[in-house]
Amino acid sequence: MACNQELPAALELKIDAEHPGINISPNLYGIFFEDINHAADGGLYAELIRNRSFEEATIPKYWSLSLTGTAEGTITLDSDNPLNSAQSKALRVDVTTADPAGSVSIANEGYWGIRVTAGSQYYLSFFAKASSEFTGKITVSLQSADGQAVYGQTAVSGIGTDWQKYTTTIVANGTDSNARFVLALNTVGSVWFDVVSLFPPTFNNRPNGLRQDLATMVKEMKPRFVRFPGGCFVEGDVMANAFRWKNTIGKIEARPGHQNLWGYRTTDGMGYHEFLQFCEDLGAEPLYVVNIGIAHKDNISLDELDSWIQDVLDAIEYANGDATTPYGAKRAANGHAAPFHLKYIEIGNENNQYDSQDNRSNLYGERYIRFYKAIKEKYPEIYTIGNVEAWGTDTPSWQYSYPVEIVDEHYYRSTQWFINNAHKYDNYDRKGPRIYVGEYAVTTNLDCGKGNLNAALGEAVFMTGMERNSDIVRMASYAPLFVNANDRTWNPDAIVFNSSRVYGTPSYYVQKMFSNNIGNIFLPTTLTGFNRIAPAANKIIGKIGIGTYNTAVKYDSVVVTNQSDDRILLSDDFPANVTNWSVKSGTWSLSYNETDTASTPGMIVAGSSDWSNYTLTLNAQKISGKEGMMIYFGYIDGNNFYDLNLGGWNNTLHAIQKNNNGNTAILTSTAGTITIGQTYQIKVVVSGANIKAYLDDELLFDVTDSSPLKPAQHDPLYYVTSKDTATGDIIIKAVNPNEEAKKTMINVVGKVRILSGTASVLTSDRVTDENSLACPTKVVPVDSQIAGVGGATRFNYTFSRNSVTVLRLKTQVHDVSTN
């Protein structure tokens, strides 16, 4: 990165500060929260006890029995003595033999370990009752996983024969990220437990609140709205497991919880009220997504919709009604007398697919209009959001005559797709509905890893287009927001955590950079000084690579030779240095042995994106697994490449495949197998659009691709400029997804001059770089002052390769005509 007013620059970014454009949507950048990947339970919801109500399974899952000394006892789930109608089971502990020096204990491991921090106070509550012969006390403690260290404990006595709530606190004297919680009994008798709850200090000190570090990560994004509670979480796999907001408010012991579509039971501890409270604490608008009688596997008929419609009207009253209304009174009773000011309701989630085989497409229009009319009749001030196709098309549209204010578009695509669609909204019909891009992210495995810079670059390019067109794109939210590292159901995600640590992916930092640096007026900006060069015709171009699928393979002696002059472009026998290679997926070790036999493909690539007319030779030995070897050539990106697949299809076939925008086609194939332990000599000759492949000097294939893959055409920069009229700051967001830095003249035209400037730059050595729990700040923005800009109206700036940059220029009015 550099700034110098004297050096020439090939590119010029001209900003028209004199003639501002559209007003930028004040709610453009928000977040989408869904309890997927244990984002709520075991995540943002701060509850530390897993299966606190003993409702999971027919055994006390995540609880274990421990006997010390000569004490003896058992634990069972009891359905005959429930706490209340919301709780169907309790845990019964029977102490049959007591030992003054020992105990019968039950331990809970939490969500992959309980985080204990020295000096912190933990708030415990539980319901219990005892048989008449039990006269002892219950000792509660936080311990190390092996029970050898006790980080804090206290005792509760006077357990009666009727259900009663008990509360206490534990102050920790040690720190452990993998602790456990223990309830210990020391006298003969039976004790029943239910709703055992343990909370650390919470975000904003809210009761039944949120984990501080995770909530702070969200707050630092400065989201303008929060879409909740889903997502598919709203629908459920069946209607019996749909989200019902009335079951998620009030005391936690009155919440039955339900089976989450994403594979685990949710307590609903982070319920409707907690979502609204979180929005208020963030200063964000709530956006509530409602179920319209459709689940993934079943639905209710149109004749049964009335109660579901009434549920939505009641939800609005709970959020917005004064304390004299029935549900406003419930809100006040739950600790929030003032209304929450809910403004946005989304009618359904991904329910408009026009697919007779998909239950979620079941009569969406008819359902939508019933909800729309009911909401508008009683609450005309509420903005409603309709569903359009969420998959199967890149051009979703509203296909009904029914009125609609905003439509929700979802895009999970490749990096290149997002770059190609930087100008998607430039020509949208301004007379149509406004757009909410409710879910979007780079999700193709070879593009995103577990959340890398490459994914963030594509998303950032797309975001410049959304902001530039925020007269039509009113709202946008990346998805998903959270993932517990122990339950990566969906990949990638913005924020990754375990019981004690958290980090943001590069995509998180892009969201934060854009949301923290948004003006209120768009400034027209043009980039000049470049020409788009058409890709070479009828020629295979790109890098080379090696990989596997479901197999472990050892590769060696990789050589790439230029056919025109026999110049060696690459020679690698992997002695120690592997910097020539970029790992796209899989687990690799010297001497480039793909050791992972999982079904996820392993791939590493090397070379230059402009290679053509070359010969690739290498040796390969299959070590284990069901398939064979994958040799890549003409590699453009993770969705566009050719491969020689040897021993594919369960080791029955050899083939040359073409992968075009993620779609795979076989160009040619023949029967064949690969033998474990045998070393094969492989050669691929790429001449123009012709491919010859040899196995042990025997010609396997000779095929010509009549329409070779073409390299993507990237602009030098993708950008959007805005002005914060409150401060006078001019804000330039620029994305350089290219391998070369771009020296650019920044030229501010108008009656302003620059006082000073700052730069925030997100980049890394490789686009595949990621953050991790072990290295959480490998790819983060770096802030700096821009030197030499004071008093200027133009300056040179070099945008780093593969970077997202925010330039913030402090300005003052300056009439050049008076100079």
Contact 497, 43 (CB under 8 A): yes
Burial label, 566 (beta-carbon count in 10 A; 0-12, 13-18, 19+): exposed
Tell me which DSSP letter residue 536 carries.
Answer: P
What is the full DSSP assignment across 136-161? --EEEEEE-TTSS-EEEEEEE----S
Contact 412, 434 (CB under 8 A): no
To which residue do tokens 């000084």 refer?
Answer: 529
Torsional class of 152: left (φ above 0), alpha (ψ -120 to 50), beta (otherwise): left
Sign of the dihedral defined by the CA atoms of residues 258, 259, 261, 264, in that order: positive
Chain centroid, CA 776 distance in Å:
16
Contact 108, 184 (CB under 8 A): no
Catalytic one of 350, 409, 459, 594: 350
Compute how many other C-beta atoms are within 10 angstroms of the C-beta atom of residue 326.
10
Tell me which DSSP letter residue 668 carries.
Answer: E
Single out the residue of 204, 207, 209, 233 nearest to residue 32, CA to CA.
233
Contact 193, 163 (CB under 8 A): no
Torsional class of 779: left (φ above 0), alpha (ψ -120 to 50), beta (otherwise): beta
91 token code pair:
């845990």
In order of 134, 626, 643, 817, the CA distances from 650 in angstroms are 63, 5, 17, 76
- Alpha-carbon distance of 464 to 459, in angstroms, equals 9
What is the full DSSP assignment across 4-45? -SSS--SEEEEEESSS--PBPPTT-EEEE----TTSTBTTTB
- 627 an active-site residue? no
Contact 31, 228 (CB under 8 A): no
- 90 Cβ partners below 8 Å, 6+ apart? 54, 77, 78, 81, 82, 83, 192, 193, 194
Strands 742-749, 698-704: pairing kind: unpaired
- Alpha-carbon distance of 53 to 534, in angstroms, equals 64
- Alpha-carbon distance of 272 to 247, in angstroms, equals 9
Query: What is the Cα Rg of the chain in Å?
Result: 30
Contact 632, 603 (CB under 8 A): yes
Residues forming the active site: 350
